[in-house]
Structure 1
Amino acid sequence: MNIACIAHDQKKDELVNFTIAYEPVLKDHTLFATGTTGTRIMEATNLSVHRFRSGPLGGDQQIGAKIAENEMDLVLFFKDPLTAQPHEPDISALIRLCDVYEIPLATNLATAEILIAGLSRGDFDFRELAKRRK
């Protein structure tokens, strides 16, 4: 499965800690991330991460393009709901694309844990069918 990892500045530590905790599950998948988030995950774990640009510099849009091409299976986007983001339209577009293409999306730790539990059980097999319909 292709998994995107994105985190706003105030949530980066939380996402890095999440990837440390779930490294045994995540190691069997292909990870993508926006700039600094990807670097921080690689520094804290033994996970390999394909890095895109930072979110404000187009990284969110690069991940959105992967979603639109049916090349992303899960998005972990730890958003900071209390801080205004200068690239809010890009964030909204990314979330909309997840809805349009039925890509599971976690915007907080609680939802991410539920999705990772499902991933480890094999609940995402439906994504393989979706890729074949492309």
Structure 2
Amino acid sequence: MKEKLTIALVAHDNRKADMVDWARFNAEYLSRHRLVCTGTTGSLIKKAFDEMGVEANVLCMNSGPMGGDAEIAAMVVRHEVDLAVFLVDDLNPQPHEADIQMLLRQCRLHNVPIACNRISADLMISSPLWTDENYTPAKQNYVHFERR
């Protein structure tokens, strides 16, 4: 597996504080990787890391409602994202629900692990498989759907 991962971080408005808290807790780990975030989430994480004196490579896309989820989904399709953390607000409707579902679907189709709550995110980033050179994840074969 790769030494430096690209990690997508996305959080709905009511979950942004949770995401920042999670990123602070995992700042040492996250700072060793490339982070790609939706706009506001990325700005908040950058600010939190700056306050902690943590240097990190954080790329901010557009905000979710302005296409940020779709931009990250496109990166997933191009195999530019290794894992994703998407803290979803399941209790409130989102104006860009189609983009949200697209991102979740593309992660499933392209075998990109995605955590939708903090404990799953903690378990995912702490897995020893990320550094196991003998581990190759099994991938679903969708060859019969490609370019038909």
Task: Return the TM-score normalized by structure 1.
Answer: 0.89
1:86 matched to 2:90? The reply is: no
- Structure 2: give runs of 5+ residues left out of the alignment: 138-148
Whose radius of gyration is greater, 1 or 2? Answer: 2
- Could you list the structure 1 runs, at least 4 aligned residues long, displaced by more than 6 angstroms after superposition: none
Q: Which amino acid aligns with 2:111?
A: E
Q: Name the SS for the 1:42 alignment partner.
A: helix
Measure the CA separation in 2 of the matches of 1:64 and 1:121: 22
Cα RMSD (Å): 2.0
What residue number does 1:59 align with? 68
Given the alignment, which residue of 6, 13, 30 partners 2:17?
A: 13
Q: Which amino acid aligns with 2:74?
A: A
- Identify the structure with the greater helix proportion: 1
Q: Which amino acid aligns with 1:49?
A: V
Aligned residues: 128
Q: Which amino acid aligns with 1:51?
A: C
> Percent of pairs identical after alignment?
37
Contact 1:12–1:37 (CA under 8 A) maintained in structure 2: yes
What is the correspondence of 1:1-40 to structure 2 with a 5 Å cutoff?
Answer: 1-40=5-44
Contact 1:25–1:120 (CA under 8 A) maintained in structure 2: no
Contact 1:79–1:107 (CA under 8 A) maintained in structure 2: yes
- Structure 1: give runs of 5+ residues left out of the alignment: 128-134
Given the alignment, which residue of 127, 134, 138 partners 1:118?
A: 127
